[in-house]
Copies of this chain bind each other. A is one copy, B any other.
Amino acid sequence: MTDGQAAAVLGALADPTRLAMLRHLVRAGPEGAAAGTSAEAVGATPSRASFHLKALERAGLVTCRRDGRSMIYAARMDALGAVISHIVDDCCAGSPALRACCR
């Protein structure tokens, strides 16, 4: 993973609304949650929620599938892990102090 790619993912995470949405999706589990549900969970208008969910999807942090009238978004834990690994292992030279934070 290049710094540019990592920066793009971190940029997607660098917003309180998106952080809240991602948390909601992680708690929803592999099943995911409908866009409207996430919107309501974080107190965002549908349009705004769609904008931020798309940003998360572009960054590869969530997947999207249609289920009837609803769009179901689900968190991609592997992508989240990849960017954390980039910071911890590559960027921060695998600092023991940093690794300790994850335990």
* Chain A residues within CB distance 8 Å of chain B: 2-4, 6-8, 10-11, 13-16, 18-20, 22-23, 26-27, 75, 77-78, 80-82, 84-85, 87-88, 90-93, 95, 97-103
Give this chain's copy count. 2
User: Please, which residue of chain B has its CB at the minimum distance from the CB of A27?
Assistant: B93
Q: Hey, which chain B residues are within 8 Å of A101, CB to CB?
A: 80-82, 84-85, 88, 102
Q: Hey, which chain B residues are within 8 Å of A8, CB to CB?
A: 14
Q: Which of A6, A23, A26, A92 has the most CB of B within 10 A?
A: A92
Separation in Å of the A99 CB from the closest CB of chain B?
6
- Cα A2 to Cα B16 with chains together (Å): 9
User: Please, which residue of chain B has its CB at the minimum distance from the CB of A20?
Assistant: B3
Q: Hey, which chain B residues are within 8 Å of A88, CB to CB?
A: 84, 101-102
- Cα A13 to Cα B13 with chains together (Å): 10
Q: Hey, which chain B residues are within 8 Å of A3, CB to CB?
A: 16, 19-20
Contact in complex: B97, A26 (CB < 8 Å): no
Q: Hey, which chain B residues are within 8 Å of A97, CB to CB?
A: 77-78, 81
